[in-house]
Amino acid sequence: MSDMPSTETRIHPTALVEKGVELGVGVEIGPFAILGEGVRIGDRTKVMGQAQILGRTTLGEDNVVFPGAILGCIPQDKKFRGEETRLVIGDRNHFREHCTAHRGTGRDHGGAGQTTIGNDNLLMACSHVAHDCILGDKVTMGNNVLLAGHVHVEEGATISGGTAIHQFTTIGTMAFIGGLARVGMDVPPYLIVEGRPGRVRGINLVGLRRRGVSEKAQEALKEAYRILFMNPQGNLEAGLDTLEAKEDLVEEVRNLVLFLRRNERGGRGRYLEGMRRDQQNESGDPRKSSPQGDAGQNDSDSSS
Protein backbone atom coordinates (compact mmCIF):
# COMPACT_ATOMS: atom_id res chain seq x y z
CA MET A 1 0.00 0.00 0.00
CA SER A 2 1.37 3.41 -0.97
CA ASP A 3 2.10 6.01 1.72
CA MET A 4 1.60 8.80 -0.80
CA PRO A 5 -1.26 11.19 0.08
CA SER A 6 -4.37 10.89 -2.04
CA THR A 7 -4.77 13.35 -4.90
CA GLU A 8 -8.51 12.73 -5.03
CA THR A 9 -10.74 15.54 -3.84
CA ARG A 10 -13.50 14.10 -1.66
CA ILE A 11 -16.70 15.98 -0.85
CA HIS A 12 -19.29 14.40 1.43
CA PRO A 13 -22.73 14.33 -0.22
CA THR A 14 -24.25 16.37 2.63
CA ALA A 15 -21.68 19.18 2.34
CA LEU A 16 -22.72 22.49 0.76
CA VAL A 17 -20.16 23.82 -1.71
CA GLU A 18 -21.38 27.00 -3.39
CA LYS A 19 -20.67 28.12 -6.93
CA GLY A 20 -17.19 29.47 -7.55
CA VAL A 21 -15.38 27.61 -4.76
CA GLU A 22 -11.85 26.55 -5.79
CA LEU A 23 -10.51 23.28 -4.38
CA GLY A 24 -6.96 21.97 -4.68
CA VAL A 25 -5.94 18.35 -5.10
CA GLY A 26 -6.48 15.93 -2.24
CA VAL A 27 -8.94 18.21 -0.40
CA GLU A 28 -11.46 16.56 1.94
CA ILE A 29 -14.79 18.18 2.80
CA GLY A 30 -16.72 16.49 5.62
CA PRO A 31 -20.44 16.03 6.30
CA PHE A 32 -22.58 19.17 6.57
CA ALA A 33 -19.59 21.44 6.01
CA ILE A 34 -20.32 24.73 4.23
CA LEU A 35 -18.00 26.45 1.74
CA GLY A 36 -19.26 29.85 0.61
CA GLU A 37 -18.85 31.54 -2.74
CA GLY A 38 -15.35 32.91 -3.24
CA VAL A 39 -13.58 30.42 -0.97
CA ARG A 40 -10.27 28.94 -2.14
CA ILE A 41 -8.86 25.79 -0.50
CA GLY A 42 -5.28 24.62 -1.09
CA ASP A 43 -4.02 21.09 -1.67
CA ARG A 44 -4.60 18.39 0.95
CA THR A 45 -6.52 20.67 3.29
CA LYS A 46 -9.17 18.88 5.34
CA VAL A 47 -12.44 20.55 6.35
CA MET A 48 -14.24 18.37 8.88
CA GLY A 49 -17.95 17.98 9.43
CA GLN A 50 -20.06 21.05 10.23
CA ALA A 51 -17.18 23.47 9.75
CA GLN A 52 -17.91 26.62 7.74
CA ILE A 53 -15.60 28.64 5.49
CA LEU A 54 -17.22 31.79 4.17
CA GLY A 55 -16.58 34.94 2.15
CA ARG A 56 -13.33 35.80 0.39
CA THR A 57 -11.31 33.29 2.39
CA THR A 58 -8.17 31.59 1.11
CA LEU A 59 -6.51 28.62 2.80
CA GLY A 60 -3.13 27.27 1.73
CA GLU A 61 -2.01 23.66 1.80
CA ASP A 62 -2.29 20.96 4.48
CA ASN A 63 -4.58 22.85 6.84
CA VAL A 64 -7.07 21.06 9.09
CA VAL A 65 -10.37 22.72 10.04
CA PHE A 66 -12.10 20.84 12.85
CA PRO A 67 -15.85 20.46 13.45
CA GLY A 68 -17.77 23.62 14.20
CA ALA A 69 -14.97 26.04 13.29
CA ILE A 70 -16.09 29.10 11.30
CA LEU A 71 -13.57 30.94 9.14
CA GLY A 72 -14.19 34.09 7.12
CA CYS A 73 -17.42 35.37 8.62
CA ILE A 74 -18.02 39.13 8.51
CA PRO A 75 -16.25 41.15 11.23
CA GLN A 76 -17.89 42.07 14.52
CA ASP A 77 -17.25 45.72 13.79
CA LYS A 78 -19.90 48.46 13.72
CA LYS A 79 -17.87 50.29 11.09
CA PHE A 80 -18.16 47.40 8.61
CA ARG A 81 -20.34 48.32 5.63
CA GLY A 82 -20.28 45.13 3.63
CA GLU A 83 -17.00 45.79 1.85
CA GLU A 84 -15.30 42.92 0.04
CA THR A 85 -12.63 42.06 2.58
CA ARG A 86 -10.58 38.93 3.06
CA LEU A 87 -9.21 36.27 5.37
CA VAL A 88 -5.92 34.84 4.10
CA ILE A 89 -4.49 31.71 5.73
CA GLY A 90 -1.17 30.01 5.00
CA ASP A 91 -0.16 26.35 5.25
CA ARG A 92 -0.29 23.59 7.88
CA ASN A 93 -2.54 25.37 10.36
CA HIS A 94 -4.91 23.57 12.72
CA PHE A 95 -8.20 25.24 13.63
CA ARG A 96 -9.73 23.26 16.45
CA GLU A 97 -13.38 22.85 17.36
CA HIS A 98 -15.55 26.00 17.26
CA CYS A 99 -12.70 28.46 16.80
CA THR A 100 -13.49 31.54 14.70
CA ALA A 101 -11.47 33.87 12.46
CA HIS A 102 -13.14 36.88 10.83
CA ARG A 103 -12.46 38.83 7.67
CA GLY A 104 -11.01 42.35 7.79
CA THR A 105 -12.80 45.69 7.89
CA GLY A 106 -12.69 47.99 4.86
CA ARG A 107 -9.80 50.41 4.45
CA ASP A 108 -12.19 53.37 4.24
CA HIS A 109 -13.24 52.64 7.81
CA GLY A 110 -9.84 52.23 9.44
CA GLY A 111 -9.35 48.56 8.66
CA ALA A 112 -6.63 46.78 6.75
CA GLY A 113 -9.12 45.02 4.49
CA GLN A 114 -7.65 41.65 5.43
CA THR A 115 -7.08 39.32 8.35
CA THR A 116 -3.90 37.28 7.91
CA ILE A 117 -2.85 33.99 9.51
CA GLY A 118 0.57 32.57 8.63
CA ASN A 119 1.89 29.00 8.67
CA ASP A 120 2.10 26.18 11.23
CA ASN A 121 -0.24 27.78 13.77
CA LEU A 122 -2.41 25.97 16.31
CA LEU A 123 -5.67 27.66 17.29
CA MET A 124 -7.29 25.58 20.00
CA ALA A 125 -10.99 25.11 20.66
CA CYS A 126 -13.20 28.22 20.90
CA SER A 127 -10.34 30.66 20.27
CA HIS A 128 -11.14 33.81 18.29
CA VAL A 129 -9.17 35.90 15.78
CA ALA A 130 -10.93 39.20 15.12
CA HIS A 131 -10.94 41.45 12.07
CA ASP A 132 -7.64 42.81 10.72
CA CYS A 133 -5.46 40.69 13.01
CA ILE A 134 -2.09 39.44 11.75
CA LEU A 135 -0.68 36.16 13.05
CA GLY A 136 2.85 35.14 12.12
CA ASP A 137 4.08 31.54 11.98
CA LYS A 138 4.15 28.89 14.71
CA VAL A 139 1.76 30.74 17.01
CA THR A 140 -0.13 28.72 19.63
CA MET A 141 -3.46 30.00 20.98
CA GLY A 142 -5.00 28.04 23.85
CA ASN A 143 -8.67 27.31 24.37
CA ASN A 144 -10.91 30.40 24.58
CA VAL A 145 -8.16 32.90 23.75
CA LEU A 146 -9.75 36.11 22.44
CA LEU A 147 -7.88 38.42 20.07
CA ALA A 148 -9.61 41.75 19.53
CA GLY A 149 -9.37 43.65 16.25
CA HIS A 150 -6.02 44.68 14.75
CA VAL A 151 -3.90 42.54 17.10
CA HIS A 152 -0.49 41.46 15.77
CA VAL A 153 1.00 38.20 17.07
CA GLU A 154 4.60 37.62 16.04
CA GLU A 155 6.31 34.32 15.24
CA GLY A 156 6.47 31.62 17.89
CA ALA A 157 4.33 33.36 20.51
CA THR A 158 2.21 31.26 22.88
CA ILE A 159 -1.03 32.57 24.40
CA SER A 160 -2.48 30.36 27.12
CA GLY A 161 -6.15 29.56 27.57
CA GLY A 162 -8.76 32.11 28.52
CA THR A 163 -6.58 35.14 27.76
CA ALA A 164 -8.12 38.32 26.33
CA ILE A 165 -5.99 40.65 24.18
CA HIS A 166 -6.98 44.31 23.69
CA GLN A 167 -7.34 45.72 20.18
CA PHE A 168 -4.20 47.11 18.49
CA THR A 169 -1.91 45.13 20.81
CA THR A 170 1.31 43.51 19.57
CA ILE A 171 2.56 40.20 21.01
CA GLY A 172 6.30 39.87 20.42
CA THR A 173 8.11 36.88 18.98
CA MET A 174 8.48 33.87 21.32
CA ALA A 175 6.57 35.64 24.08
CA PHE A 176 4.53 33.53 26.50
CA ILE A 177 1.27 34.73 28.07
CA GLY A 178 -0.08 32.81 31.05
CA GLY A 179 -3.65 31.58 31.26
CA LEU A 180 -6.60 33.89 32.02
CA ALA A 181 -4.44 36.99 31.54
CA ARG A 182 -5.89 40.38 30.60
CA VAL A 183 -3.47 41.99 28.19
CA GLY A 184 -3.93 45.67 27.37
CA MET A 185 -0.37 46.62 26.45
CA ASP A 186 2.21 45.26 24.01
CA VAL A 187 4.01 42.11 25.18
CA PRO A 188 7.78 42.30 24.53
CA PRO A 189 9.47 39.44 22.65
CA TYR A 190 10.99 36.51 24.57
CA LEU A 191 9.29 37.45 27.85
CA ILE A 192 6.57 35.96 30.06
CA VAL A 193 3.48 37.99 30.90
CA GLU A 194 0.88 36.87 33.44
CA GLY A 195 -1.95 38.30 35.50
CA ARG A 196 -4.89 40.70 35.37
CA PRO A 197 -3.72 43.14 34.19
CA GLY A 198 -0.82 41.40 32.49
CA ARG A 199 2.63 42.11 33.90
CA VAL A 200 6.11 41.02 32.80
CA ARG A 201 7.23 38.13 35.02
CA GLY A 202 10.43 36.83 33.46
CA ILE A 203 12.05 35.33 30.37
CA ASN A 204 10.45 32.55 28.33
CA LEU A 205 13.47 30.26 28.66
CA VAL A 206 11.50 27.11 27.88
CA GLY A 207 10.26 28.62 24.63
CA LEU A 208 13.71 29.88 23.72
CA ARG A 209 15.24 26.43 24.21
CA ARG A 210 12.50 24.77 22.18
CA ARG A 211 13.11 27.20 19.32
CA GLY A 212 16.85 26.51 19.38
CA VAL A 213 17.97 29.93 20.61
CA SER A 214 21.67 29.72 21.56
CA GLU A 215 22.92 29.64 25.14
CA LYS A 216 24.81 32.85 24.44
CA ALA A 217 21.62 34.62 23.43
CA GLN A 218 19.75 33.24 26.44
CA GLU A 219 22.40 34.55 28.81
CA ALA A 220 22.39 37.91 27.04
CA LEU A 221 18.61 38.13 27.42
CA LYS A 222 18.91 37.35 31.13
CA GLU A 223 21.37 40.22 31.53
CA ALA A 224 19.15 42.53 29.47
CA TYR A 225 16.15 41.60 31.60
CA ARG A 226 18.03 42.53 34.78
CA ILE A 227 19.10 45.85 33.28
CA LEU A 228 15.63 46.71 31.99
CA PHE A 229 13.33 45.48 34.72
CA MET A 230 15.49 45.12 37.83
CA ASN A 231 17.72 48.22 37.70
CA PRO A 232 18.08 50.26 40.94
CA GLN A 233 16.36 53.27 39.38
CA GLY A 234 13.32 51.16 38.52
CA ASN A 235 13.35 53.01 35.22
CA LEU A 236 12.86 51.28 31.88
CA GLU A 237 14.24 54.30 30.02
CA ALA A 238 17.50 54.09 31.97
CA GLY A 239 17.78 50.41 31.15
CA LEU A 240 17.24 51.04 27.45
CA ASP A 241 19.92 53.75 27.48
CA THR A 242 22.36 51.34 29.13
CA LEU A 243 21.77 48.62 26.57
CA GLU A 244 21.92 50.98 23.61
CA ALA A 245 25.35 52.13 24.77
CA LYS A 246 26.68 48.59 24.28
CA GLU A 247 28.21 47.75 20.90
CA ASP A 248 28.04 43.96 20.97
CA LEU A 249 24.36 43.20 21.56
CA VAL A 250 23.14 39.86 20.26
CA GLU A 251 20.30 39.91 17.77
CA GLU A 252 17.67 38.90 20.33
CA VAL A 253 18.57 41.74 22.69
CA ARG A 254 18.57 44.21 19.80
CA ASN A 255 15.09 43.00 18.87
CA LEU A 256 13.92 43.48 22.45
CA VAL A 257 15.33 47.01 22.66
CA LEU A 258 13.86 48.02 19.29
CA PHE A 259 10.46 46.63 20.29
CA LEU A 260 10.43 48.63 23.53
CA ARG A 261 11.60 51.81 21.79
CA ARG A 262 8.98 51.44 19.09
CA ASN A 263 6.36 51.03 21.78
CA GLU A 264 7.08 54.59 22.95
CA ARG A 265 5.67 55.91 19.67
CA GLY A 266 2.25 54.42 20.30
CA GLY A 267 -0.32 55.21 22.94
CA ARG A 268 -1.51 53.47 26.11
CA GLY A 269 1.37 51.00 25.84
CA ARG A 270 0.45 49.86 22.32
CA TYR A 271 2.59 50.77 19.32
CA LEU A 272 -0.26 50.19 16.86
CA GLU A 273 -2.45 52.60 18.81
CA GLY A 274 -0.42 55.46 17.34
CA MET A 275 -1.19 54.23 13.85
CA ARG A 276 -4.89 54.18 14.67
CA ARG A 277 -4.79 57.83 15.73
CA ASP A 278 -3.02 58.72 12.49
CA GLN A 279 -5.69 56.98 10.45
CA GLN A 280 -8.84 57.90 12.32
CA ASN A 281 -8.15 60.90 14.51
CA GLU A 282 -6.24 63.79 13.01
CA SER A 283 -6.66 65.77 16.23
CA GLY A 284 -4.27 63.38 17.97
CA ASP A 285 -6.64 63.02 20.92
CA PRO A 286 -6.93 59.28 21.69
CA ARG A 287 -10.21 59.90 23.51
CA LYS A 288 -11.77 60.82 20.16
CA SER A 289 -10.75 57.53 18.58
CA SER A 290 -13.73 55.44 19.57
CA PRO A 291 -12.97 51.78 18.86
CA GLN A 292 -16.19 50.21 17.69
CA GLY A 293 -14.78 46.87 16.73
CA ASP A 294 -14.27 43.47 18.27
CA ALA A 295 -12.61 43.91 21.68
CA GLY A 296 -11.63 41.53 24.40
CA GLN A 297 -11.65 44.55 26.72
CA ASN A 298 -12.04 48.32 26.34
CA ASP A 299 -10.25 51.31 27.74
CA SER A 300 -12.34 53.22 30.24
CA ASP A 301 -13.08 56.04 27.80
CA SER A 302 -13.66 53.88 24.73
CA SER A 303 -16.98 52.70 23.41
CA SER A 304 -17.47 49.18 22.13
Q: Give me the active site residues, please.
A: 131-132, 149
137 within 8 A of 90, measured Cβ to Cβ: yes
The vertex-142 CA angle with 272 and 208, nearest 5°, equals: 75
Count of C-beta atoms within a 10 Å radius of residue 92: 18
Output Rg (C-alpha) for the chain, integer angstroms: 21
Instruction: Provide the CA 237 distance to its chain's centre, in angstroms.
Output: 28
CA distances 257 to 19, 29, 241, 245, 254, Å, are 50, 46, 9, 11, 5
Sort 304 into a burial class: Cβ within 10 Å, 0-12 / 13-18 / 19+: middle
191 within 8 A of 202, measured Cβ to Cβ: yes
Count of C-beta atoms within a 10 Å radius of residue 268: 15
Of the candidates 102, 96, 98, 144, the residue with the CA atom closest to the CA atom of residue 121: 96
